Amino acid sequence: MSEKAKFWILLGLLLASIALLAYLNYSSERLFIG
């Protein structure tokens, strides 16, 4: 695999990781009941 292809895959994984962290943080702060 070329370095350029690896770069785009890793960039995608980084963005997915950040999105997962943001989602988990958001869901943990929705404590409100009802």
Partner 1 sequence: MSEPPRSKLRIANNLLFACIVVINLYIIAAPLWPQVSYWWQAHHSSRRSDLTQLIHQQLAKTSAKPQPNSLVIPAMMLNQPTLEGPESNWFNLLKQGIWRWPASSTPDQGGNTVFLAHRFSYTGPHGAFYYLNKLKPGDEIGVVWSGKTYTYKVASSTEVLPTDTSIENNTANAEITLFTCTPLWHPVNRLVVVAKLETNP
Least separation in angstroms between CB 29 and partner 1: 5
Least separation in angstroms between CB 30 and partner 1: 8
| 31 lies in the binding site for partner 1 (CB under 8 A) | yes
| 1 lies in the binding site for partner 1 (CB under 8 A) | no
Cβ burial, residue 12 (10 Å; 0-12/13-18/19+): exposed
R_g of the chain computed on alpha carbons:
15
| 29 lies in the binding site for partner 1 (CB under 8 A) | yes
Cα–Cα distances (Å) from 33 to 16, 23, 24, in that order, read 29, 19, 18
Least separation in angstroms between CB 23 and partner 1: 10
